[in-house]
Amino acid sequence: MSLEPFSYHLPDERIAQRPVYPPESAKMLVVNRRDGSIHHESFSVISQFLRPSDRLVFNDTRVMPARFYPRLDTPEGHQVELVLLREVADNEWIAIGYPMRRIRAASALLFGDQLRARQISSDTPDRIRLKFETSSREETFRLIVSLGTMPIPPYIRNGRADDQDKIDYQSIFAEHVGSVAAPTASLHFSTALIENIRASVGCQIDTVTLHVGAASFQPIFVNGELRPPGTELFNVLPSLIESLQASRSAGGRVIAIGTTVIRALESAARQGSSSHDTETSLFISPGFQFSVVDAVVTNFHQPSTTHLLLVESLLGKDLLCRSYETALANEYRFLSYGDGMLIL
């Protein structure tokens, strides 16, 4: 694949290590695609840019405490790092880990004194498959929640989460457990801000589910080739797409809160909606024709990422470049706990 994601120099000190409080006090760069204008606001005044006919769509996935530092069940007992990605059968999970070579050499992993998992075969070189040795799926899940830490990205405090991250790295809409990364655009919205939007504007708030995968933890280029984002599970009710399209036909806008919502909605429009979890491998890049989404709230993403290709497909490279240069010049905070953009 020959696509080259937009890149830029991001100084370490511009990567937010904690969110601001209250969350709606974060800066919001407002970018207008029609006239190319860029100006500065905060999320506290986002209502000024909304209309009663707009539909705001959030991702209601819930982040699992999926990062662990287990010991290998070997004489040496080396400690390793592991992130659980997805349950694929009863008590069987797919995971990524580091260092992978050392992990693969062990037959089992020990998660403290309470939980043990043995390795079984895996179909991919960068994944392992684990079978947890507990009495039930419910017991395994209880222990995962009890023993795991929030899988914050490695650029935030080297991925070492604490109790505060259990609050900060979770959207107010979080309901359906299954993500290993937060839909971070929604972290700018507090309950008070949502109530203000409803009261002052009256636009409708909708939710979809897309369980965010491991893109934040894995290299973008493999053997010199761009790796598309992996498959993710999503759930969009059939009635929602019909309702959103009716709102658009009546002059309303569909405003996706985050790139995960874009992927869910545009996947549903192409694959068909379902009340059950469905896999999507949709790769949104320049030239993509959007059929549902009209505007977007999104954070500032890492250089040379597939997320930036998605944003470029909305803005074009020139306006994307100007937007990021403006944010850097005006001391915006970047990445998951940072500030964000409203793209109109």
Examine the domain organization and report whether 201 and 53 are in the same domain: yes
What is the C-alpha to C-alpha distance for residues 107 and 119, in angstroms, rounded to an integer? 6
Share of the chain above pLDDT 90, in %: 85
Examine the domain organization and report whether 208 and 105 are in the same domain: no
The pLDDT of residue 218? 65
Q: Which residues contact 177 (CB under 8 A, 6 or more apart)?
A: 61, 62, 64
Q: How far is CA 29 from CA 232, 297, 321, 325, 339, in A?
A: 29, 10, 13, 11, 8
Domain presence at residue 153: no
Task: Report phi then psi at 66, rounded to 5.
Answer: -100, 0
With CA atoms as reference, report the closest residue to 276 among 232, 241, 235. Answer: 235
Examine the domain organization and report whether 299 and 331 are in the same domain: yes
What is the domain count for the chain? 2
What does the pLDDT average to over 129-151?
Answer: 94
Domain presence at residue 27: yes
Q: Which residues contact 239 (CB under 8 A, 6 or more apart)?
A: 273
- The residue with greater pLDDT, 114 or 220, is 114
Examine the domain organization and report whether 327 and 292 are in the same domain: yes
1 band by pLDDT with thresholds 50, 70 and 90 = very low
Domain presence at residue 195: yes
Residues 299/339, Cβ–Cβ less than 8 Å: yes
Q: How far is CA 299 from CA 157, 159, 228, in A?
A: 18, 19, 20
What is the C-alpha to C-alpha distance for residues 119 and 254, in angstroms, rounded to an integer? 44
Domain presence at residue 159: no
Examine the domain organization and report whether 271 and 202 are in the same domain: yes
Residue 223 reports pLDDT greater than 80: no
Domain presence at residue 290: yes
Examine the domain organization and report whether 140 and 170 are in the same domain: no
- Per-residue model confidence as pLDDT tens digits over 278-329: 999 999 999 999 999 999 999 999 998 889 999 999 999 999 999 999 999 9
- Per-residue model confidence as pLDDT tens digits over 225-275: 777 888 899 999 989 999 999 999 999 999 999 999 999 999 999 987 666
Examine the domain organization and report whether 192 and 223 are in the same domain: yes
Range of the domain at 120: 67-148
Residue 85 reports pLDDT greater than 90: yes
Residues 78/109, Cβ–Cβ less than 8 Å: no
What is the C-alpha to C-alpha distance for residues 211 and 117, in angstroms, rounded to an integer? 23
CATH of the domain at 55: 3.40.1780.10
Examine the domain organization and report whether 59 and 71 are in the same domain: no
Examine the domain organization and report whether 112 and 225 are in the same domain: no
Examine the domain organization and report whether 177 and 55 are in the same domain: yes
Domain presence at residue 189: yes
Residue bearing tokens 């997805």: 86
Examine the domain organization and report whether 37 and 72 are in the same domain: no
